[in-house]
Structure 1
Amino acid sequence: MKPLISVCIPTYNAADYIEETLKTITAQTWKNLEIIVGDNASTDRTKEIVESYSERFDGRVRYYQNMTNLGYAGNCNKLIEHAAGDFICIFHSDDIYDHTLIEKQVRILNSNPMTAAVFCFHQRVNNELEKIDDHKYQFEKNDKSILTVNFQDYLHGFILNNENFLVCPSSMVRKEIYLELGGYDTRLKYIEDQDMWTRILQKYQISIINDKLMLYRCHQLQGSSFYSSNKRRDLKPSIKYLKSLIKESDLYTALYSEKLAELEAIDLVDLARNAAFENNRTLYSQLITESIKCKEISRFFWKHAIIQKLPIWISFRIIRFK
């Protein structure tokens, strides 16, 4: 018997995108699925659009609206509670999915009982679904069609290559794994997924389909836009999380502390840029000084390294008036 797949879609004010997403999910070649949309107290037409799909697809598309915004982790956990399937996809309401994705993911989990979850790679696109770049993760540059990831692979990719190659909105996870780990940590913000994949990988392996089977839409309303925002004032939560994680092991401290210090130094330069854009010379000087103390940035990141090496007053003027 074919397993039931629960496609869970956490959403908030996604009226501009969710119809396109639902079209690609209802067109999947794997037909034994339920689609559950968890609306985090939207104020736009999201409810109207999703309920119209529910009527057209004999109730396969289910919708509920939270009375208050539960945050991303809280919404995901509620979706997991509602899910009846053996495997749970948490897909996003602004992305586009290849019609064969779910079928390929199910095959991998069915044939690999030790695999806890399966992902795919993605193509970054803009609002109009135009390709942004041809970026490939280092982990993606492999001839194998199915890649297997363990905990150290994930740390290595994240820290040494500065790449989070487990793309959340392509995930399919065994429901029993979510239940075993207690779901997403509602105390976290921006790194809920990173924490979940880390906790899974500390006990199990994850597979990745080595193909771009989703279009990952980049826009200013998505949560991950926080990282590139010129209004960000604090170190990336992902770097803080990794720093606390490697402290748990002397081996990982020895392997990754130097490189993680460089990532922190790079991010401090990015924060200094934000200060320069706001003409805050004092904060800019403090952040550049902190970056230099943290770690000398290598020539590989030459744009950041130059800012470190120039006199502060010169680099400030270059950034401010370029």
Structure 2
Amino acid sequence: MYDSQEVSTETPLVSVCIPTYNGKRFVAEAIASVLSQTYSRIELIISDDDSTDETVAIAHFFQQNSSQEIRVITNHNQRGIAGNCNHCITEAKGKYIKFLFQDDLLAPQCVEKMVDLAEKYPDIALVFSRREMFFDPGSETDPYLMIVYQDFQNLPAGWSQLQPVQWGRDLLSDPRLLEHPINKIGEPTTVLLRGEVCDRLGGFDPHLNQLVDLDLWWRIMAEYQVGFIDETLSYFRLHQHQKTYQNIQEGTDTDLNFFAKVSSHPDYNFLPLNLRQKLH
């Protein structure tokens, strides 16, 4: 849990959180990208959701062979992606929380640059940046992944007027807000969050199966400033084992429960009624 005493420290602690599940193929690369960060005060939290492969063993190897503070948490009752992310938030001690999904990577200066911007503006609760998509070898010919790459590679271009620092509610009033792609911030790997804000807003909604991250981004943006760094600071791997890809194969890739929440839940009373009605 976020420690309010952390506010007074000269170099704030950052909790880099990797929620894992059967991630043996990629998790070592993800961990290595954290250990290569130029930022000095990082606690690495690896929260495993009852994997049946060697994910936990890989995490323990890094824990035993690194001077970096690494905590490995094993959940014996599966929480799901949102629940596991929320568990990370609960365990985090840092002033800031930086998620890194097990198949993604951080650029070496990612944490340093994001924290530097957030520290300059105390009303910032969310910092995001450009991220680059790349194909896992053998996945570049998959027609669905090719569409994803073409449609979602340049998310910041979806905003009408994106500034380095601005109030989130200004972005929420963007006339292009509901245009594709609707998530113009990006995935958790490309975002830095202020820990106390995650605590206050309750984290990710486990009742959603798609756009779980966007739901939290919008709720944060309603009250706080947002920072944008116009550099590639993370890398999003495209492959056929991703949860969204699996949802598509299983026919459960619907955004309808997210739209239903936005249109009717009190959490979204900050949005204009006419906009919410468009989502009915």
TM-based fold match above 0.5: yes
Where does residue 203 of structure 1 map in the other structure? Answer: 223
Task: Give percent identity, aligned residues only.
Answer: 26
Greater RCO, CA 8 A, separation 6+: 2
Looking at structure 1, the residues matched to 138 and 15 of structure 2 have their Cα atoms a distance apart, in angstroms, of: 26
Give the C-alpha shift of residue 123 in structure 1: 1.3
Cα RMSD (Å) = 2.9
Where does residue 103 of structure 1 map in the other structure? Answer: 112
- Which structure 2 residue ranges, 5 or more long, are not aligned? 1-9, 141-145
1:136 counterpart = 2:136: no
1:164 counterpart = 2:183: yes
CA-to-partner distance for each residue in 1:84-122, whole Å, 9 max, x for gaps?
Answer: 111111111110111001000110111000111111121
Where does residue 136 of structure 2 map in the other structure? Answer: 127
**Counterpart amino acid of residue 153 in structure 1:** L
Looking at structure 2, the residues matched to 52 and 204 of structure 1 have their Cα atoms a distance apart, in angstroms, of: 39
Where does residue 171 of structure 2 map in the other structure? Answer: 153
Distance 1:23 1:245, change over 3 A: same
Q: What is the 5 A alignment of 1:244-255?
A: 244=264, 252-255=272-275
CA contact (8 A) 1:30 1:102 kept: yes
CA contact (8 A) 2:168 2:220 kept: no
- Which structure 1 residue ranges, 5 or more long, are not aligned? 262-322
**Counterpart amino acid of residue 67 in structure 2:** D
Looking at structure 2, the residues matched to 214 and 20 of structure 1 have their Cα atoms a distance apart, in angstroms, of: 13
Distance 1:38 1:166, change over 3 A: same
Where does residue 31 of structure 1 map in the other structure? Answer: 40
CA contact (8 A) 2:33 2:107 kept: yes
Other structure's SS at 1:69 match: coil
Give the C-alpha shift of residue 148 in structure 1: 3.1
CA-to-partner distance for each residue in 1:1-36, whole Å, 9 max, x for gaps?
Answer: 211111011110000000111111110000210100
Where does residue 187 of structure 1 map in the other structure? Answer: 207
Max radius of gyration: which structure?
1
**Counterpart amino acid of residue 216 in structure 1:** F
CA contact (8 A) 1:160 1:256 kept: no
Looking at structure 2, the residues matched to 207 and 17 of structure 1 have their Cα atoms a distance apart, in angstroms, of: 29
Looking at structure 1, the residues matched to 12 and 45 of structure 2 have their Cα atoms a distance apart, in angstroms, of: 16
CA-to-partner distance for each residue in 1:174-208, whole Å, 9 max, x for gaps?
Answer: 11111111222233333321221121112112212
**Counterpart amino acid of residue 219 in structure 2:** R
Looking at structure 2, the residues matched to 50 and 195 of structure 1 have their Cα atoms a distance apart, in angstroms, of: 30
CA contact (8 A) 1:12 1:42 kept: yes
Q: What is the 5 A alignment of 1:36-51?
A: 36-51=45-60
CA contact (8 A) 2:210 2:254 kept: no
Give the C-alpha shift of residue 224 in structure 1: 2.4
CA contact (8 A) 2:19 2:46 kept: yes
Other structure's SS at 1:160 match: coil
CA-to-partner distance for each residue in 1:55-93, whole Å, 9 max, x for gaps?
Answer: 121351211110111112221121112111111111111
Other structure's SS at 1:108 match: helix
Looking at structure 2, the residues matched to 148 and 52 of structure 1 have their Cα atoms a distance apart, in angstroms, of: 42
1:236 counterpart = 2:255: yes
CA contact (8 A) 2:139 2:239 kept: no
Looking at structure 1, the residues matched to 231 and 84 of structure 2 have their Cα atoms a distance apart, in angstroms, of: 29
Looking at structure 2, the residues matched to 255 and 19 of structure 1 have their Cα atoms a distance apart, in angstroms, of: 43
Aligned residue among 83, 92, 99 for 1:90: 99
Where does residue 126 of structure 2 map in the other structure? Answer: 117
Other structure's SS at 1:54 match: helix
Q: Which range moved further: 152-161 or 62-71?
A: 152-161
CA contact (8 A) 1:5 1:89 kept: yes
